[in-house]
DNA sequence: CCCATTCCTGAATACTACTTCCAGAGTCAC
DNA sequence: GTGACTCTGGAAGTAGTATTCAGGAATGGG
């Protein structure tokens, strides 16, 4: 299922028994343990028996420790390569880090979040959501707090290509809209944790009204996901929780972009046109450059 | 020793005996053999005995096949990542692209936008903006359309760590707020093109009121930038204008995150605390997790 | 040309690491 | 409290890996 072993481990955590979870946590905290240690040693480090470690590997879908280990080695190396591109030795932010370090580390985590979201994305589900939206009449979006921005972002994008979309920061309005959904409509709930009660509530109402429901969340086992016909999962790692909020939002936006581009593509929309125009306006402006600010009034671009 | 196992093997070739050379050649031709096959099977494929393969691994400086194999797995995965990246570097989205292709390409461009923004960032300017905000009384944020979401995002973040920040989608309210700025305040205008009249206007008003002004834009020569004491530039490449809208917003958010983390770091804020708590809530839920569906009466999920 | 030395090689052996099985402990529902 | 179930680690079994060793080829000296 999930391409990256480590994301898979994180995702599987809730389904695991306590001993297996201990193994998962140790591995998530330091994946290098797997590469360096034999199954026996790893079991000892985790305070459990090697049988449990072996079972854990199989729970994740691997034939055993050997296969799992190779997979972890690959994932670790891939991540290390990424880190090197940012010139980083380690990736946790320290209070004494320089501005350059902080910037590189934040960027690294955000890039990682995007890449892992891609790896873990089920494109079949993505396309079914695209089908539902393209074939549907209207899209309702529910998201509050940070996820509210993602919802608004998608709303703006859909509206721009002529798809009826609604999104409100006001829970009451969202609920009213949810109650009015028809079976031809699509309702999308966005919540990183999947626990946000307002989002869950709204999505449930839309579901009861007969709409096709979609969840965008980092926790595919969460309440929001359970109300959804289709679940799109982001893979922002929470282990370095200090970054969590940022990475998760970037991952959500990336996901929303995938969805949007695919919709535009499916509809045969000429996404190029309008944006091309923006591009040219900008370019023209830049050539005359400095004085454009003076002629204010009306010459504004489609976006921003 | 050479960093990459495979180069090492290639380099060592002339020094190897004929049987070991045969092993080396097979591996160089298809490194995946090592990942997939046991030492016994690999020996058979190479038409030699497993002893020879084991010796070969030791000749290259590894303790044995096991260690060698892990190393090869790492190298192979790293190389695949590089190749993938390279393949995406020069490709635009095509109407006939598959979902996988679309996702990979969009993600690549977004990652690129982050990386280039990091590269082009003047951390000295960043830190002076941080100084202004940390030492100031209040932050006003102006941004509309897509950039409005970035503005709101930063507003939310600053508010969360107790910094007075204002952001409104209503231009009038923004202007009123701008007019009320004091010299101890900071006003930040966000506009990708730098041409948005509302943003320019508001930033100009805040400047006249005496506030320190900051511009976040992709065009450092634009009107918004000219009104700013400090300019933070995003580097979302517009050449592939089809992606521009998405990449620019990601770049803006990344920039805002750099700013935010640096501010939190400077203030010695315990960013860890609140987020840690969120993490634990999620975790608690997850432990009971398994049966959450039952409690929820109607919750069935089509996937998983 | 023959013998001695050295190096190379793979079969056999020894060993380690991994997998699988199983029974006991614990947990939950009735 | 009892039965059904799950979780867990010990132990047996097996696959995979390391090492030893002897035969054989190649090289060099007599």
Q: Kindly tell me the burial class for residue A81, based on how many C-beta atoms sit within 10 Å of its own C-beta (0-12, 13-18, 19 or more).
A: middle
Q: Provide the shortest C-alpha distance from residue B100 to chain A (in Å).
A: 7
Q: Pick the residue from chain B with its C-alpha nearest to A294.
A: B223
Determine the nucleotide nearest to A54 by Cα–C1' distance: C19
Cα dist from B223 to B47, B140, B179, B218, whole Å: 71, 18, 19, 12
CB contacts < 8 A, A to B, total 261
pLDDT tens digit string along B193-204? 999 999 999 999
Residues in A closer than 8 angstroms to B262, CB to CB, are: 99, 102-103
Quick one: pLDDT at residue B288? 33
Task: Give the residue from B78, B101, B192 with the most A CB atoms within 10 Å of its CB, the best one to mutate.
Answer: B78
**How many angstroms from the chain centroid is the CA of residue A179?**
27
What percent of chain A has pLDDT above 90?
62
- Say which of B95, B152, B282 has its CB closest to residue A193: B282
Record the pTM: 0.82
Look at A279 and B244 and tell me if their CB atoms are within 8 Å: yes
Q: Is A272 on the interface with B (CB under 8 A)?
A: yes
Q: Pick the residue from chain B with its C-alpha nearest to A253.
A: B250
Q: Is the pLDDT of residue B276 over 60?
A: no
Angle at B39 between CA B35 and CA B42, to 5 degrees: 75
pLDDT level of residue A300 (50, 70, 90 thresholds): very low
pLDDT level of residue B97 (50, 70, 90 thresholds): confident
Q: Is the pLDDT of residue B296 over 60?
A: no
- Say which of B97, B265, B302 has its CB closest to residue A95: B265
Mind listing the domains of chain A with CATH numbers?
1-81 (1.10.10.10), 123-266 (3.40.50.10490)
pLDDT tens digit string along A21-69? 999 999 999 999 999 999 999 999 999 999 999 999 999 999 999 999 9
pLDDT tens digit string along A209-256? 999 999 999 988 889 999 999 999 998 875 444 555 788 999 999 999
Q: What mean pLDDT is predicted for residues B61-79?
A: 94
Residues ≥6 apart with Cβ < 8 Å to A224: A189, A191, A194, A195, A196, A199, A200, A203, A215, A217
Quick one: pLDDT at residue B301? 34
Q: Max CA-CA distance within chain A?
A: 74
Question: From start to end of chain A, where are the E strands?
Answer: 139-142, 165-167, 186-191, 212-217, 230-233
The better pLDDT of the pair A161, B238 is held by A161
Question: From start to end of chain B, where are the E strands?
Answer: 139-142, 165-167, 186-191, 212-217, 230-233
Quick one: pLDDT at residue A297? 37
Q: Is A245 on the interface with B (CB under 8 A)?
A: yes
Backbone angles phi, psi at B161, to 5 degrees: -100, 20
Q: What mean pLDDT is predicted for residues B1-21?
A: 84
Identify which of A178, A201, A200, A204 has the alpha carbon closest to the alpha carbon of residue A191.
Answer: A200
Are B48 and B23 in contact by the 8 Å Cβ rule? The answer is yes
Are B157 and B256 in contact by the 8 Å Cβ rule? The answer is yes
Q: Is the pLDDT of residue B242 over 90?
A: no
Residues facing B167 on adjacent strands: B141
Quick one: pLDDT at residue A267? 83
Rg of chain B in Å (alpha carbons): 28
Residues ≥6 apart with Cβ < 8 Å to B47: B22
Residues ≥6 apart with Cβ < 8 Å to B179: B205, B206, B209
Q: Alpha-carbon distance B190 to B193, whole Å?
A: 9
**How many angstroms from the chain centroid is the CA of residue B138?**
29
Q: Provide the shortest C-alpha distance from residue A137 to chain B (in Å).
A: 23
Q: Is the pLDDT of residue A176 over 80?
A: yes
Q: Is A287 on the interface with B (CB under 8 A)?
A: no
Could you tell me the end-to-end alpha-carbon distance of chain A, in angstroms, rounded to an integer? 39
Q: Max CA-CA distance within chain B?
A: 83
pLDDT level of residue A295 (50, 70, 90 thresholds): very low
The CA–C1' separation of B22 and D28, in angstroms, is 27
Q: What mean pLDDT is predicted for residues A3-13?
A: 84
Q: Alpha-carbon distance A45 to B278, whole Å?
A: 28
- Say which of A73, A123, A304 has its CB closest to residue B145: A304
Q: Alpha-carbon distance A237 to A117, whole Å?
A: 10
Q: Provide the shortest C-alpha distance from residue A204 to chain B (in Å).
A: 9
Q: Alpha-carbon distance B145 to B252, whole Å?
A: 13
- Say which of A82, A86, A156 has its CB closest to residue B146: A156
Task: Give the residue from A71, A96, A103 with the most B CB atoms within 10 Å of its CB, the best one to mutate.
Answer: A103
What percent of chain A has pLDDT above 70?
85
Quick one: pLDDT at residue A150? 95
Q: Provide the shortest C-alpha distance from residue B1 to chain A (in Å).
A: 18
**Torsion angle of the four alpha carbons B146, B150, B155, B161, in this order, in degrees rounded to the nearest 10:** 160
pLDDT level of residue B160 (50, 70, 90 thresholds): confident
Residues in A closer than 8 angstroms to B143, CB to CB, are: 304
Q: What mean pLDDT is predicted for residues B111-139?
A: 95
The better pLDDT of the pair B153, B14 is held by B153
Q: Is A11 on the interface with B (CB under 8 A)?
A: no
Quick one: pLDDT at residue A296? 36
Quick one: pLDDT at residue A88? 84
In A207-236, the residues whose Cβ lies within 8 Å of chain B are 219-223, 225-231
- Say which of A123, A146, A231 has its CB closest to residue B301: A231
Residues in A closer than 8 angstroms to B3, CB to CB, are: none
Residues 50-69 on chain A lying near strand C, CB distance under 7 A: 50-51, 54-55, 57-58, 63-67, 69
Q: Is the pLDDT of residue B297 over 50?
A: no
- Say which of A80, A121, A275 has its CB closest to residue B103: A121
The CA–C1' separation of A11 and C1, in angstroms, is 75
In B76-115, the residues whose Cβ lies within 8 Å of chain A are 76-78, 81-82, 93, 95, 97-100, 102-104, 106-107, 110-111, 114-115
Least confident of A12-16, A91-95, B47-51: A91-95
Strand D surroundings (CB within 7 A) = A 17-20, 47-52, 55; B 38-40, 50-51, 54-55, 57-58, 63-67, 69
- Residue where the block lists tokens 């922002």: A236
pLDDT tens digit string along B245-273? 788 899 999 999 999 999 988 887 655 44
- Helix segments in A3-64, DSSP class H: 5-12, 18-29, 32-36, 39-45, 50-59
């Amino acid at each position: 299922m999930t391409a990256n072993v480590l994301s898979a481990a994180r995702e599987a955590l809730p389904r695991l028994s306590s001993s297996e979870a201990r193994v998962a946590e140790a591995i998530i905290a330091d994946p290098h343990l797997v590469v360096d240690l034999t199954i026996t040693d790893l079991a000892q480090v985790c305070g459990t028996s090697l049988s449990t470690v072996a079972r854990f590997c199989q729970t994740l879908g691997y034939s055993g420790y050997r296969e799992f280990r190779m997979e972890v080695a690959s994932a670790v190396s891939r991540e290390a390569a990424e880190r090197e591109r940012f010139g980083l030795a380690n990736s946790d932010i320290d209070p004494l880090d320089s501005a350059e370090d902080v910037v590189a580390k934040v960027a690294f985590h955000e890039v990682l979040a995007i890449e892992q979201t891609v790896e873990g994305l089920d494109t079949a589900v993505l396309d079914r959501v695209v089908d539902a939206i393209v074939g549907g009449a209207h899209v309702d979006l529910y998201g509050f707090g940070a996820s509210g921005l993602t919802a608004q972002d998608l709303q703006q994008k859909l509206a721009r290509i002529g798809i009826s979309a609604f999104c409100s920061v006001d829970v009451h309005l969202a609920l009213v809209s949810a109650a009015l959904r028809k079976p031809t409509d699509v309702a999308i709930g966005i919540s990183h944790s999947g626990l946000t009660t307002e989002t869950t509530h709204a999505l449930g109402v839309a579901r009861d009204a007969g709409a096709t429901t979609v969840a965008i969340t980092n926790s595919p086992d969460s309440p929001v996901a359970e109300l959804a016909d289709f679940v799109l999962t982001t893979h922002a790692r929470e282990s370095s929780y200090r970054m969590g909020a940022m990475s998760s939002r970037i991952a959500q936006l990336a996901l929303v972009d995938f969805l949007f581009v695919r919709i535009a593509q499916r509809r045969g929309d000429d996404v190029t046109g309008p944006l091309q125009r923006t591009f040219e306006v900008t370019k023209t402006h830049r050539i005359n450059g400095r004085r454009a600010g003076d002629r204010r009034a009306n010459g504004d671009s489609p976006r921003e």
